Every structure is written in structure tokens, then in C-alpha cells.
Amino acid sequence: MKFRVLSIIAIASLALFACKGGSKSGEAAPQPAPEVKTEPALAFCPDSLGEEPVFDIVTTKGTIKIKLYKETPLHRDNFVKLASKRFYDNILFHRVIKHFMIQVGDPFTKDASKDPKLYGTGGPGYTVPAEILPQFNHKKGALAAARKADKANPNRESSGSQFYIVHDAGTCAQLDGQYTIFGETLEGFEVIDAIAGVEVQQPKNLPLEPIKVISILPAQ
């Protein structure tokens, strides 16, 4: 009888061990396959574009046609990569100063739960090395990369996604040689004027009327 009781206990112990995922050989139980995350489809193939690609920045105020410079390849390629991933879709122009510039590219502005006080601090999580060249200046319609001030950013590295478009060359001339200019406006200067002319709230010059980027895609 004693032997039979011990046998029953042994069988019960093995059953309990099996429920907990053990094996008689001491090997680990099979693990479920890791979840595979798929990247969303690209809006276009970056490799299909030329050295100086032309894009349409479609906004709720109209379309601005821009050209990117081949002389600033790091900024050009980064802009193309983000546009192909639709990073800029539905982003707000979060800083608008008439007779100066209009700024866009902060992903925080797409999130209604974010405090507007944070606008201007968001990005893709990296910076881009400076490509400041003397042949490019802050003419009207110039595209330049936003960045942190020199004290916190002595190498003048650019924001990974935020950029501004010059509204007034005269007031922006002071920025020449300090920020990377990586493109220019070809058409749509009246759209720049329209965005620059909206009413804003202080202290961060955020437009009272939300102005969005609908899409940034290669010009047709």
C-alpha cells in the first residue's frame, strides 16, 4: 500500500511539473515566435528621385513647391526619408512670425493630448550634422533646418525634422552662416505670405487658426 501511495504522489508531481512548462529532459519549453512588426508602405521610393528633388508641400493654405539642394546631401536625404514615410502629414505650422519665417516639423503637434507649450521640442529622436555653406543665404522662400541655440548645440546640428521657410530676406539675413539652408521655394510664395499673415498667440507665435501640412510628395 505504501508503495502505491508513493507512486500516486510521484505521478501527481510529474503532472504538476508538466503544467508549469517543465520537461523530463530539463530542456526549456518552446517559446512563442516573436511578434514581427511591419513597416508601413512608403509613399514613394526615395531611390527614384534625382540629385535635386522637387516636392509639393501641400498645406491647408495652398501648395508650396520646393527644390532640395544636392550640396546638402545629409539634409536632403533625411527630408526625403521622412517625407516617404509620411512623417510630415498632418503636422502643424507651430511657429509663425510675419516678416521673418514660418516653422513646421514637430510631430508633437499631431497629438492633441500634447501641451502646446511643448511645440517646438519634438522630433524623430536624432539630429543632423550641420551643412552650413556660404553660397546659400536666407532669401525669401529658402528652406532651413531649425536647431537648438549655440550654447546647448555648439556644433550647430540641425533638428531631425523641424525646418522653416523664410518669409522676409531682410530680417532673416542675420541668420546667414548660422543655420543649414538645404532648399528653396520654386512656386507658392503667395502661400508663404498667407501663412505668415495669420493671427498668432503669444508667447510662442502659434497660429490661432491651425494650419496643417496635408502631405509632402514629389512634384508631378
- CA 150, 183, 212, 174 dihedral sign is positive
CB 200 within 8 A of CB 121: no
Specify the pTM.
0.82
Nearest of 155, 106, 165 to residue 131 by alpha carbon: 155
Query: Cα(138)–Cα(122) distance, rounded to whole angstroms?
Result: 24
| pLDDT for 24 | 47
Concatenated DSSP letters for 151-176?
A: TT-TT-PEESS-EEEES-HHHHGGGT
| pLDDT for 40 | 76
| pLDDT for 42 | 95
The residues of the chain scoring below 70 in pLDDT are 1-39
As a dihedral over the C-alpha atoms of residue 43, residue 46, residue 51, residue 56, rounded to 10 degrees, the angle is 10
| pLDDT for 34 | 67
Give kind and range of the element (H or E) at residue 129: none
Q: How confident is the prediction for the chain on average, in pLDDT? A: 88
Burial of 64 (0-12, 13-18, 19+ CB in 10 A): buried
- Cβ–Cβ contacts within 10 Å for residue 128, how many? 21
Query: Cα(4)–Cα(10) distance, rounded to whole angstroms?
Result: 10
Query: Cα(79)–Cα(166) distance, rounded to whole angstroms?
Result: 17
Query: Cα(184)–Cα(66) distance, rounded to whole angstroms?
Result: 6
Query: Cα(210)–Cα(59) distance, rounded to whole angstroms?
Result: 11
CB 219 within 8 A of CB 65: yes
| pLDDT for 50 | 95
Q: Quick one: cell of 219?
A: 512634384
CATH number of 49-218: 2.40.100.10
